[in-house]
Amino acid sequence: MKTTTREKLREEYACIVKSFVKNIKGLDTDGIPAPHIPIVGETYDQCAYKMAFVGMETYGWGNIKDFIEIAEKSPHDAVTKYEGWFHAGGMVEHSKNGTFWGFIIAFLAKFYQIDEKLLKSKRDDGTYHEILSSIIWGNSNAIERYHITAQKKGADLYAWKKVKEYSRAFDSINHIISAAHPKVIFLTYKNVDKNYILKDKDVHKEIPETKYVYSNKPDENIDYRYYYLREQQTHVFVVPHPTWIGAYSGIGFSKFIDSLIAAIKKYKIWSRFPLSEDDWKQQEISTSSSLYKYHLIADLASFLIDKDLRMTGEELQALFNKNNIKTSYGTKYSEEGGRGIHRVIKCVWKYFYNKGEQQIALNISRAFVGKNLHYTY
């Protein structure tokens, strides 16, 4: 059975939980909230467009003593103790104040081209649209600032500082990426600690630029940042808090979200974008399926012809193998450019020719050649 993202998240954070609880043992934790650990939505694994929304911190969370009690018996159970809070109904209820959750729902509605009122509406059977539970929710600070909750509950400042210190092990974007592999992460905290995104190992020591990260300002008129984490193949947008966007920026949710979606398309984060709400779900097409390979070869042929280039069967095999595209037997392709790969190309040519798509067939017949750069059929 395939491991779910929730199970992977449990594994990712369990060791951190175990170490955290051990480190804070003996401290007076009265009044200190439990750490917030990212939560995976119920339909995340089925979603074609995997996204995470990460805030700054919670505003009141669980009791840390309850968290410790569970963690001492099972760190894995402690990871998922509060996941029941994150559900579509809760999102809709909390979106009424128009801030963090309101921004997320407005973004999802516009991205998936569904009316926002419809997205927030309860169905006849009492459920909400699956899109609302297709994301990951996290916070860049596992433990809230002292004055948010702990001070009001009379928590000891020294104890809070120690808990905060040890909680920093949770505070890294890499944990979410490692467990869930979202394509896009929205950090709704403009002043997020840079270490949350980048660790020392990511930074080139000789050159004052990052080694594995591309960064840019996508919109000259709207202030937010973009990072591409090359090693993780993850795109990160750092935006101001939604309260500021909605109430103080003079821009509003709609224009800000339009800019974000334009940037997502500009950077070609996905090869295809949803045309309707029904496109949220991942299509069960394997990268090794015939249909996937047919369209990949067709797209590749079009590109090659546009640039007046040719590709050998050997090069196509290497491309397939590097990207884990398997044969119909589930094995790697030979890298010798033999007759096998040219049979595949011929099948693709025949598929489009018989469909009456002669231009695609012609592109394929022109773009792919044998070892000696001659046409094989």
Q: What is the pLDDT of residues 36-71, one digit of tens each?
A: 999 999 999 999 999 999 999 999 899 999 999 999
pLDDT at 276: 87
pLDDT at 46: 94
Mean pLDDT of 15-26: 96
The fraction of the chain above a pLDDT of 90, given in percent, is 65
Asked whether residue 215 is assigned to any structural domain, the reply reads yes
Q: Choose the final residue of a domain: 226, 260, 280.
A: 280
Q: Are residues 91 and 191 in the same domain?
A: yes
Task: Give yes or no for a contact between 344 and 301, defined as CB atoms under 8 angstroms apart.
Answer: no
Q: How confident is the model at residue 340 (pLDDT cuts 50, 70, 90)?
A: confident
Q: Choose the final residue of a domain: 280, 312, 330.
A: 280
Q: How far is CA 359 from the centre of its chain?
A: 36
Mean pLDDT of 25-31: 95
Question: Around Cβ 347, how many Cβ atoms within 10 Å?
Answer: 13
- Encoded tokens for 246: 């909605």
Highest mean pLDDT: which range of 136-140, 198-202, 207-211, 331-335 = 136-140
Q: Are residues 108 and 218 in the same domain?
A: yes
pLDDT digits (tens, 9 = 90+) for 169-223: 999 999 999 999 999 999 999 988 877 886 545 444 444 455 557 778 899 999 9
Asked whether residue 374 is assigned to any structural domain, the reply reads no
Which residue has 């994150």 as its token pair?
Answer: 86
> Is residue 163 scored above 80 in pLDDT?
yes
Q: How confident is the model at residue 129 (pLDDT cuts 50, 70, 90)?
A: very high
Cα(228)–Cα(220) distance, integer angstroms: 18
Q: Are residues 334 and 241 in the same domain?
A: no
Q: Are residues 132 and 248 in the same domain?
A: yes
Q: Are residues 118 and 239 in the same domain?
A: yes
Asked whether residue 285 is assigned to any structural domain, the reply reads no
Q: How confident is the model at residue 370 (pLDDT cuts 50, 70, 90)?
A: confident
Q: Are residues 126 and 227 in the same domain?
A: yes
Q: Are residues 194 and 221 in the same domain?
A: yes
Q: Which residues pair with 51 in a beta bridge?
A: 135, 184
Mean pLDDT of 306-335: 87
Q: Choose the final residue of a domain: 280, 311, 327.
A: 280
Q: Which amino acid is at 232?
A: Q
Q: Are residues 310 and 268 in the same domain?
A: no
249: containing domain: 5-280
Asked whether residue 57 is assigned to any structural domain, the reply reads yes
215 three-class SS: strand
Asked whether residue 376 is assigned to any structural domain, the reply reads no
Q: How confident is the model at residue 290 (pLDDT cuts 50, 70, 90)?
A: confident
Q: How confident is the model at residue 289 (pLDDT cuts 50, 70, 90)?
A: confident
Q: Are residues 251 and 147 in the same domain?
A: yes
Q: Are residues 264 and 331 in the same domain?
A: no
Which residue has 């491991």 as its token pair?
Answer: 3
Mean pLDDT of 120-137: 93
Q: Are residues 166 and 226 in the same domain?
A: yes
Q: How far is CA 77 from the centre of its chain?
A: 24
First to last CA, the chain: 43
pTM for the structure as a whole: 0.82
Number of structural domains the chain divides into: 2
